Amino acid sequence: MPKSPGEWARFEALLHLTQHGQSEASLVEAGEKCGFRPSVLVQQIFSLLKQSPTGSVRLADVRRIAPPEVEEDTIRQLVSHLTFAGYLRSGRPGEWRPDDKLQELIDSHEIYSNIGADPLRGTAVDAYTGAVIGRTEQVYDKGRVVLLGGRPLEVVWRESYHFGLAPAPGKAGDEVLRFSTGAPAVPFALTQAVGRSLGLAQGQLVTLQAVEGLWLFHFWGTIWGELLAKVMLAHSFIAKPVNEYCLTVRQTVNQLPPWDEAVSRRIAINAAVALAGRLEMGRFHSLLPANVAVAATLCQLNIKAWSRVYRESRVEPGTHEIEAQLRMLAGEAQPGTRSIGK
């Protein structure tokens, strides 16, 4: 069930894309370029080791399962990084075997898929019922007291990345229990379909008066919308993302700042780590060498396509005919109207 008019609009757009998928091919090509995610290679190395009759793996084995575009140096970096991090250890010359951290993942059956949450994040559970409370940003040791909703909870047991919490009335909490956040990004093609349902053309950005400044409706999706806000900040605009459809700007905006390749690429590189979780880079993405992880994320950001969309865009004032729908997409309550499209 949709939780907001914005979600309702996405559901309607998904239905439209399903019915007219072929006509949307150019939009998908312009907006999303899905390449190989190297975290898959981490999972495959672990799987090879589990299946291997000798319990070992060689560089030639990794080369055999890696796509051609993955260079030899990247493979060597990856194996070295996994060794340094305690997941692999050297065996006979030219061979690697599971180390303690990988054996933990194997024993907990965490190596058979690259889909889902990062298994290296913490999982908080009810100490007595075993019910999962949530995925956390870190793992807490036994005896630690944390706060959840203002209530103190004590870690009474820990097993690898799982820890059990029990009420601890009267005890002082060390810190607030923080959960992993960041829902998957809403893609460009989907939000463009929502924009077209309002009669907006590709490349047409519209503004609307907000309480403080303006709403700038880009319909670029989550990732490119966040990058747009960072570009505007770099050009002295006070901009903040609202959702996948729009951002707020304190100043008047008649056109986007001139495209600057160097500035935009620097912004993308700086944002790559934070955006990786939104791009679903795979549950073993955190085990990649830093340079490999950033390069893979930049590939998914597709700076070349983003620059084309950016340079072809124009900013116009929003019309009265679609003002109510735009305000709903921005999160402003508009009672009595359910559908966003015409």
pLDDT at site 98:
93
Question: Regarding predicted confidence, which is higher, 253 or 131?
Answer: 253
CA atoms within 13 A on the CB side of 140: 27
Indicate the pairing of strand 151-159 with strand 246-249: unpaired
Q: Which of 62-71, 192-201, 303-312, 325-334 has the lowest mean pLDDT?
A: 325-334
Query: Tell me: the pLDDT tens digits for 278-293?
Result: 888 888 998 999 999 9
Residues 124, 143 contacting (CB under 8 angstroms): no
- Residue among 255, 243, 271, 264 at smallest CA distance from 308: 264
Residue 6 has pLDDT above 90, yes or no: no
Q: What is the pTM of this model?
A: 0.76
Query: Tell me: the pLDDT tens digits for 17-36?
Result: 888 764 444 544 444 455 78
Q: How far apart are CA 78 and CA 72, in angstroms?
A: 10
Domains defined along the chain, listed by start? 5-33+183-329 (no CATH), 39-107 (1.10.10.10), 122-176 (2.20.28)
Q: How far apart are CA 228 and CA 269, in angstroms?
A: 14
Element (H, E) at 75: helix 72-84
Q: How far apart are CA 89 and CA 166, in angstroms?
A: 37
- For every residue of 310-324, DSSP letters joined together read HHT-EEEEPPGGGHH
Residues 6+ apart with CB under 8 A from 75: 41, 59, 62, 63, 66
Average pLDDT over residues 202-219: 92
pLDDT at site 181:
57
